[in-house]
Structure 1
Amino acid sequence: MSSLFSSFKGTAQSLTSIRRPWRDFFDITAVDIPTSSSDSTTRIAQNITHFRLNYTIVLLVILCLSLIYHPLAFVTFLVILLAWFFLYLARDRDEPIVIFGSLIDDRLVLAALVGLTLAGLVFTGVWRNVLVAVVVGVCFVILHAVLRSTDDLVMDDLESPYGHVLADGDEELDSPRGDYSGI
């Protein structure tokens, strides 16, 4: 039981370390119209990489708000969210999953969680609410990512979606096109 709490605490600390401050996320002075479609796609990639946990929280809040008038569905999806968190997102990938003495493959866990989520959608009858909430959330994320300028963002090269291009020539890269280095 204590290992479960220590695992939860460690995961919570690692997640809070990647969450960006909300004042940076909602910085109105950073709103700017992109100059081209290339600029838009670059902004989307950089903002989603930089604000990934903030976007996840926004999507989950929108989903919870869509289920507010369906308490059974809300509790069901809270349990499913906890299952996703503990069985897939928060666990160490090197640590195998053992259930009833049997070693369980990651793909089997992922398939079971997807099946559980779909069953929750069907049995609670709120699949339309969830679908609309996800569409609204994704539209918000894309709109924010396009309009939020990336000029003031500070990212590590490894965190950047273009990190493999910016990497030093000394690092070993698994690329079929060879080794890239910064110009």
Structure 2
Amino acid sequence: MSPTTTTYGTINSTPTSTSTSAKRTRRPWPELFSISSFSLPISSAEAKTRIKLNLSYFRVNYVIIMLTIVFLTLLWHPTSMIVFLITFIFWWFFYLFNDNPVVVFNKTVDDNIVLGVLSFATVLLLVLTHVGVNVLVGLIIGVVVVGVHAAFRGTEDFGFSVEVEEENGLPSVVGSQPLRPTSGYNRI
């Protein structure tokens, strides 16, 4: 599609990259909790790889889980719940259900920066309402829950393309040539 010109500037109707749209997508909850996809990682290296891929693939789902856990730690603090619900509105519009990248002063803001700013603002505002311990406990529980899920959730059924795998630091080696020749003599 061609860009559209408006009085405010040029708007591209095509996504800039497939990875940006993949990171911003909330995955179906049954896919996240599919019992058949869970297995024990063989090694710590495989667990790290699973965590990295799952955090990338289920990014929005994990943010929703973390926010829910933090919200549950605030049930007996009505002022903090009101502050949290106000910050959740910003989460809703700028991260969770926003399919387009955030643009500030005609510059596209990276998803990681949006995530960091929203996280920092949420924690700061909640700590200012004197529930710092509750927020800390909620964040620790959330990190443990998300980390355990990401380590035990298999990644075989994702079907990543080569670009997404290379962006995550996992280049595909299927069908590639060996680094050393397999014929001839070897030095001893």
Asked whether 1:153 is paired with 2:158, we answer yes
The 5-angstrom pairing of residues 9-158 of structure 1 reads 18-83=25-90, 89=95, 92-96=101-105, 117=122, 119-158=124-163
SS in 1 for 2:162: coil
Superposed CA RMSD:
3.7
Q: Is the contact between residue 83 and residue 125 of structure 2 (CA under 8 Å) also seen in structure 1?
A: yes
Question: Structure 1, unaligned stretches of length 5 or more?
Answer: 1-13, 98-105, 168-181
Runs of 4+ in 1 over 4 A off after TM superposition: 14-17, 83-86, 88-94, 109-119, 161-165
| Greater C-alpha radius of gyration | 2
Task: Flag the 1:66–1:114 CA change in 2: closer, same or farther, 3 A.
Answer: closer
More helix by proportion, 1 or 2?
1
Q: CA deviation at 1:123?
A: 3.0
Q: CA deviation at 1:21?
A: 1.1
Q: What is the TM-score of this pair, normalised by structure 1?
A: 0.64
Alpha-carbon deviations, 1:119-160, whole Å to 9, x = none? 523431111111100100010111001111111122233333
Percent identity, please: 35
Alpha-carbon deviations, 1:36-75, whole Å to 9, x = none? 1111111111111111111111111111111122111011
Whole-Å separation in 2 of the counterparts to 1:61 and 1:110: 16
Question: Structure 2, unaligned stretches of length 5 or more?
Answer: 1-20, 177-188
Whole-Å separation in 1 of the counterparts to 2:169 and 2:127: 41
Q: Is the contact between residue 46 and residue 161 of structure 1 (CA under 8 Å) also seen in structure 2?
A: no
Task: Flag the 1:144–1:54 CA change in 2: closer, same or farther, 3 A.
Answer: same
